Amino acid sequence: MAELVPFPRSSRPPRPTLTDPEPLWRQLLGDQLRRRRHDREETLTETAEKAGVSPQYLSEVERGLKEPSSEMIAAIAGALDTTLIELTSGVADELRSAASPASAVVSASRASFALAA
């Protein structure tokens, strides 16, 4: 019988690539909503009642499983005493920070190309 020999693993973390998927809007929005609800120390049921949605629906929105309409987002935002612009800004900030590693790879590859030229 043959003996299995493990390959040595690299100690450095994998580099982000341009093919890494960007996070979805609905996932980042859900994270923002959950964070704001937790900051207020409210349960799903309490926030859902204020927003006029079911706790199950709010849970699915927070987990990024539902793509809520703008009316639903506004209702949930209102229940959390926040505005659409505050939510949108928070999501945009998260997208920027998530895109930073990929933009660094692009910048590095452009820098290499510029040096090679």
pTM for the whole structure: 0.68
> DSSP string of 10-61?
PSSPPPP-TTSPPPPHHHHHHHHHHHHHHHTT--HHHHHHHHTS-HHHHHHH
Domain membership of residue 108 (yes or no) is yes
The answer as to whether 72 is a domain residue is yes
In a domain, 14, yes or no: no
Supply the range of the domain harboring residue 40.
Answer: 25-116
The domain total for the chain is 1
Residue bearing tokens 């890494």: 20
Query: Which residues lie below 8 Å from residue 54, measured CB to CB, with a gap of 6+?
Result: 48
Note the pLDDT tens digit of each residue in 31-68.
999 999 999 999 999 999 999 999 999 999 999 999 99
Nearest Cα to Cα of residue 74 among 31, 28, 33, 38: 33
User: For residue 37, what is the domain's CATH number?
Assistant: 1.10.260.40
> Could you tell me if residue 8 is inside a domain?
no
- Using the predicted structure, report yes or no on whether residue 79 has a pLDDT greater than 80: yes
Average pLDDT, the chain: 82
